[in-house]
Amino acid sequence: MEQEELNIMNDRHETIGTAARSDVHAQGLWHETFHFWLLKKEDDTVFLYFQLRSPEKKDFPSLLDITAAGHLLAAEQPPDGMREVEEELGLSIPFKEVTYTGIIQDEIHLPSFIDREFCHVYLYMEQKEHMDVHLQKEEVAGLYRAKLMDAQQLLTGECERIQIEGFDVDAAGERREESREVDVQDFVPHESAYYKHLFHAIHQFLSQ
């Protein structure tokens, strides 16, 4: 997995070569990723979904994150990222039904690595009353949702805690429904600028 080859870029999003995934993070090289955000409207309330990362993940274990996401390999184009949705959530969604909102730059700096991404961001409004979700246990330990406005206020620094609801799947595969209160420390630390761009794109999407 660590030897996957990714395209590397300069800060103007121009491809300048390829590198192993491990080198990309170790050296803080710009690369491309696929981000899929799932929304659902019930009555007049819009919900935004977050995956709970597996406790076995090397990076950011047991934190809430993008509904489904992954690196784009050197030979891939952004639509190829839809495999992440099927692999991680078990949802088969035709690419023509998702909405592309453009590229958002995102940087995460930690002592162990620097993650610099050009994120191709897609939105999807779920129409079914019940989703047939099957989580990839090696990657995802649960699926939660928050009211869109609550998530926006928390992740852009306008409030300190919100309520989320969803489910965990334990090591035995048992699904446990849960509602809990979370703060920003429970989420992967994406830049505030990333979230500002994301929520602006979501509101444009909802107004169409």
d(CA 79, CA 65): 20
Tokens in use for 85? Answer: 């949705």
Q: Which domains does the chain have, with CATH numbers?
A: 5-206 (3.90.79.10)
Bridge partners of residue 49, in order along the sequence: 145
Mean pLDDT of 193-207: 97
CA angle 102, 204, 9 (to 5 degrees): 15
- Residue 34's pLDDT is what? 98
Percent composition of the chain: helix, strand, coil (DSSP 3-state, to 5) = 25, 45, 35
The model's pLDDT over 44-94, given as tens digits with 9 standing for 90+, comes to 999 999 999 999 998 899 999 999 999 999 999 999 999 999 999 999 999
Predicted model pTM:
0.95
The model's pLDDT over 5-39, given as tens digits with 9 standing for 90+, comes to 999 999 999 999 999 998 999 999 999 999 999 99
The model's pLDDT over 125-150, given as tens digits with 9 standing for 90+, comes to 999 888 889 999 999 999 999 999 99
